Amino acid sequence: MSKLLDYLNTLDKDAAAREAHNKDPKAAMKKFGLSTHEQDAFLSKDKKRIAKSIGIPEADLPALLWPQSQNTTY
């Protein structure tokens, strides 16, 4: 399983991880151990790019919820 997929699952299930990510996404991703490539893919908010980074078809990637301050759902 990819580290980015692990991170997405963690954000989905762990309120403290979500809070840390919402406060400082880059620091939270670095602390989790995501590569620069994985961080860039996630921060791009490009579902196709994120799916490719994880190694799954775009259609298999669930909707991603972004922090309210970014006001975006993919």
Distance CA 36, CA 27 (A): 12
pLDDT in tens, 21-54: 999 999 999 999 999 999 999 999 999 999 999 9
Give 65's pLDDT tier (boundaries 50, 70, 90).
Answer: low
Q: In the predicted model, is pLDDT for residue 18 greater than 70?
A: yes
- At position 41, the amino acid (one-letter code) is A
Residue that is written with structure tokens 């880059």 in the block: 26
Strand partners, 65: 73
**Beta carbons of 54 and 5 less than 8 angstroms apart:** yes
- Mean pLDDT, to the nearest integer, of 8-17? 92
CB 4: neighbour CB atoms within 10 A?
22
**pLDDT above 50 for 63:** yes
Average pLDDT, the chain: 86
Domain extents in the chain? 3-70
> What is the C-alpha separation between 28 and 52, in angstroms, rounded?
21
